[in-house]
Structure formats: structure tokens, C-alpha cells
Chains A and B, each alone.
Chain A
Amino acid sequence: MEIAYYPGCTLKTNAKEFEESTIEAFRKLGIELKELNKWYCCGTVYSLATDNLMYRLAAIRNLIKVKEEGYDKVVTLCSICYNTLKQANLMAQQDEEAMYKINSFMDEEPDYHGEVEVLHPLEILKGMEEKIKENVVNPLNKKYAVYYGCLLLRPKEVAIDEYENPSVMEKLVEMLGGSVVNFPFKNECCGAYNVVSDREAVVERCYRIVGNARKNGADAIVTSCPLCHFNLSEMQKEIKKTDFVGLPIYYFSQLMVEAFGGRKCKEK
């Protein structure tokens, strides 16, 4: 089965291993992720003002490209891209006046009204328990703290699971042979783009989240967002408190590759 794949800028630079491991893991499950021929930066964080249509152009243009290449579904790995594309798609399906303006402005592109479906790989994996279990040759034997971050679960309209108590990534880890450690920060924001303007705030968040996961017995943290990965791993180096001991951060697809007999996740 082939499905359109939208990478987003960071999957091609800082998070190359996320892309490679997901393509490899899905290939083992019989799904081929085919990268789009033409795609643009999605514009990241969805613009919330009632009149700010220009900042939503990028997401709509990408969905038009998906439609033009003949696909009706697109999968994206980056949480921020997923959130932006999905919210833009909802706007395209519900707000006729806004879409009239956007379609008129983008007169060089065909019209769009929300015909494409935006998916996250964890949603696709929900129905594939049997297939995943039969591919596990090397069960993970560690304790993992699963960290969703914020944008996969909020706002409610785009959540991939129950937004206060999600379980889809936990079930995946257990299917791969690992055990899950519950910790209260699993759906709390890492500080996101404040790493650019207010680095100290994000360092503080990293200390709280990683410290709490370790306190609850985790050997590693599993995440799905490149920005969370960057904030939680790189900012560990800037923590000055002496009682802090760090943890390695992995993408869920890297765990899948390890369990399916591929490359093992690097220790720290």
C-alpha cells in the first residue's frame, strides 16, 4: 500500500533519523511512504486570528499539491506540521468564506475545499496490532516514558487520541516488548519555539519533564515531535542544577526499527 508522505523542513535536516526509521518501519508493515514531488514549509504554528488568512496559505497550498498528485490521504510525521495541516484542512471544510478568499488569491492553483485527509502514523498504526506483533523479533526490554507534547492532542478537533489520557503510543511500546512508565508531564508542552527567544524557559521545562520521567523509573523518553526531541535532548546540556541526570530521547519509529530487528537505538 502506498500513501503520500509530507516531510516538513525539519525531517530533512535535524530529524533525518526520524524520517529514515519511519520509512523503514512502515516498509516492514507493508506500507510505502511516498514523498510528495512538490511541497513547501507548512508555516508551523497555526495562525489563530479570525482575519489572518495569509498565514494559512502555506498549509492549504501543500494540501492542493497532495490533491494534484492524485492522493486523497497524506501522512506527516512532525507534530507541528500535522497540527497545522489538520487545522487548515478543517478550516477548508468548514469556512466557505475564508476558502473563497484563499482560492481567489491563489489563482495559479486549482481550488480546494478540504478533499484530502491528513493522518499521523500513530493513527495508521492503531488498526495494525497483529502485523506489528508478528514483526517483532527483538523485544525492547526497557522502561519507557511516553511523551506526547501538546500539538498531537490539542485542540480537541485534531487530537489523535483521548486528549487528557492518551494511550496509543503506550500500546505501541508494549506491543514492541517494552514496558511503560506513567508520568504526569506526558501531555504538557516542552516550551516549543520559545527556545529561540527565551531559552531559559525551555531549559526549565526540560529539567522538569526529564527529571520527572526519571523519577518515575524511566530509562528513556519516547516522543513523536522533532521540536520536543530537540528541546528535551539538546537543552539537557544547558541545565546547571547539580541534581539532574539526563535521559536519552528516542522517536517512536526508532523503537519500532530496533524491535523489528534493525538498528538499535543509540545510548545517550
Chain B
Amino acid sequence: MSLLAKVEELSGENLYACYQCGKCSAGCPMVDQMDLLPNQVILYVIRNDESVVEAKTPWICAQCYQCGTRCPRNVDITKIMEALRLIKLRKNIDYLKIGKVKKNLPQIAVVSATRKYTG
């Protein structure tokens, strides 16, 4: 299955609707830490460029829904980031090593991080 088909199936979003306006990247709060901008991620997926799966961007996404809410074409990039994370997690490749979780963090942080970054 091609990368584009897999991401479309997991996210349920139509990536071809994106016309690269960049509003998502403009609104993203975590963009300083990213190597690929959200709108670039969409372009890479459409072109079936597998290197996007190795990028840091999906793993710094905070699932704040800012991108999806602002998109003029109603493409929810939050779901696309989740799809890219799941492609790795479902192969048993975790991003967060459970043993490295710092002690005494609030339960809410530990539960959400393990939910998003471990498979």
C-alpha cells in the first residue's frame, strides 16, 4: 500500500484538498522544533516520499487542533500527524522509552505521552 493510501485510510482525510496556503504552519505552536513544516508534510505524503515517516515533526505535535481548525479546505492535519505516528507505532517502534520517563510528573502528562508515543 502506498504511503498516501495508508495515511488517507488511517486519517480519513483527503490530502489532495490541500492547496499549500500555509495557514496550518503559521498557526502551529510547536513549529520552532519541527524539521518539516505541517504543509510540507502533506506535500511529502502526496509525493509518497517515505522520508517523512522518519521526520521529527509528528513526534513534537501536541495535538492542539490549531491547524485543522484554521484550514480553509477543512483538511484536519492533526489526524494526518496521528496517522504518521501510527505507521511507526504499529510496527512496534516506540518513540518514548518508558524507562526514561522522568519521575514525579503529573499523571495527565505521563498517560497522554505514553498514549501518543508508545504503541
Do the beta carbons of A41 and B29 come within 8 Å of each other? Answer: no
Q: Interface residues of A toward B: which range?
A: 35 or more
Docked Cα-Cα span, A154 to B78, in Å, equals 11
Residues of A within 8 A of B33 (CB): 198, 200-201, 204
Q: Does A230 contact B (CB under 8 A)?
A: yes
Which residues from chain B contact A204 at a C-beta distance below 8 Å?
A: 32-33
List B contacts of A50 (CB < 8 A): 9-12
Most B CB within 10 A of own CB, among A15, A43, A201, A204 = A201
Tell me whether B9 and A44 are in contact (CB under 8 A): no
Docked complex Cα distance between A205 and B32 (Å):
10
Given contacts A48-B11, A48-B79, contact A193 B62 (CB under 8 A): yes
Contact with A along B4-23 (1 / 0, CB 8 A): 00000111100000000000
Q: Report Cα–Cα, A52/B116, bound state, in Å.
A: 12
Of the candidates A10, A47, A49, A189, the one whose C-beta lies within 8 Å of that of B107 is A10
Closest to A149 in B: B64
Asked if B91 CB lies within 8 Å of chain A CBs, one says no
When the two chains form the complex, which single residue of B10, B106, B108, B110 contacts A51, counting CB atoms closer than 8 Å? B10
B30 interfacial contact with A, CB 8 Å? yes
B25 touches A (CB below 8 Å): no
Q: Which of A8, A47, A188, A193 has the most CB of B within 10 A?
A: A193
A246 at the interface (CB under 8 A from B): no
Which of chain A's residues have a CB closer than 8 A to the CB of B68?
Answer: 154-155
Is there contact, CB below 8 Å, between B29 and A188? yes
Give which listed residue, B10, B11, B79, B111, contacts A43 with CB less than 8 A: B111
Is B110 a contact of A191 with CB atoms below 8 Å?
no
List CB contacts (< 8 Å) of A102-125 with chain B. none
Tell whether, in the assembled complex, residue A189 and residue B82 are in contact, meaning their CB atoms are under 8 Å apart: no
Contacts of A151 in B (CB 8 A): 64-65
Q: Is A192 an interface residue (CB 8 A)?
A: yes
Find out whether the CB atom of A189 lies under 8 angstroms from the CB atom of B30: yes
Q: Indicate whether A55 sits within 8 Å of B63 (C-beta atoms), given known contacts A50-B11, A205-B29, A227-B106.
A: no
Within the complex, what minimum Cβ distance (angstroms) separates B34 from chain A? 10
Note all chain B residues with C-beta closer than 8 A to A80: 108, 112
Q: Are the CB atoms of A154 and B69 closer together than 8 Å?
A: yes
Q: Is B1 an interface residue (CB 8 A)?
A: no
Q: Known interface pairs A188-B66, A197-B117. Does A10 touch B108 (Cβ–Cβ under 8 Å)?
A: yes
- Asked if B86 CB lies within 8 Å of chain A CBs, one says yes
Sample of 20 more A-B contacts, CB < 8 Å, known A14-B106, A50-B10: A9-B111, A14-B107, A14-B108, A47-B82, A49-B79, A80-B108, A80-B112, A150-B66, A151-B64, A189-B29, A193-B116, A195-B105, A195-B109, A196-B105, A196-B109, A196-B110, A197-B59, A227-B109, A230-B108, A230-B109
- Chain B positions near chain A (C-beta within 8 angstroms): 9-12, 29-30, 32-33, 59-60, 62-66, 68-69, 76, 78-79, 82-83, 86, 95-96, 101-102, 105-113, 115-117
6 chain-A/chain-B pairs, Cβ below 8 angstroms: A48-B11, A49-B82, A155-B69, A192-B63, A193-B112, A201-B30
